[in-house]
Structure 1
């Protein structure tokens, strides 16, 4: 497993060692001991989530203001452009974002720590997305920053308007959102 800090050093790109031949492939998608040894992070994942979305579906930018969740995310089928945004007002990187392609083909994962918003847009015909969280979903604490907030200026790789949920249409601008200290 190879772990590389992104432009936001707390957000980590994880590339597993894949063993393949003409029969298919095998890789460890998660190994607690290796993850801890390579990152120094000792995490307890309490929930796994799985979604399937059509092309141009954009989910995010989501976070929980209390019971903040760390997320280990990956795309198992299709491809997505995955984004993490630093939402910690005390951070020197507040409001900065990083985006990476995750796909069933490249098998990469992204660690998005608590204090960061998360979102993705589907760039293939459809995509299946899986993620582990360090805390349980608590809808009363869930928040959403607008995907197209002009302050963030995220370079989403889409043509036209994405397909959004009601929650994401009603997201707050960064300067209006409830954020982390």
Structure 2
């Protein structure tokens, strides 16, 4: 999405040439391949661990860090792999997003009209909201799990990370629609009137 926004704003006349269907399919396949390799790597590393009997994960889904805590054998390599892969994948995606938005901001600042600047920034607003929500909740989960060992807090943080960004994603992108903006403002005015 960051690359798409970069091409749309920095190279608007060549958008259809650059973002052709072949490139879009290639980007999707690359994303899918990275996800599969990442998941497979962690799954294969989990197979080498031994587990004690009658253990229960304090979650409603099997989160990797909680799963490793149940291992009776040494899980140092698994923990190192989690941190290295999180750093590499996080650094790559974050640097790509930052690179594209630095170029976008520099291009938008060169636009002479304020209406053009507003239109360009509104194109990026929904993507930045979703990215901020995803990285913010993910960062919160790992900070929370490092600071507290409360199972309840860990479950709440995991829900915030895994459910909330995906649930709000369609809502955030639909706010670009004028009808949705009007409906939301009516709803908010009714709520504030009732309070």
The normalised TM-score by structure 1 is 0.23
Judging by fraction of residues, say which structure has more strand: 1
Which one has a bigger Cα radius of gyration?
A: 2
Q: Which has the higher contact order (CA 8 A, sep 6+)?
A: 1
Judging by fraction of residues, say which structure has more helix: 2
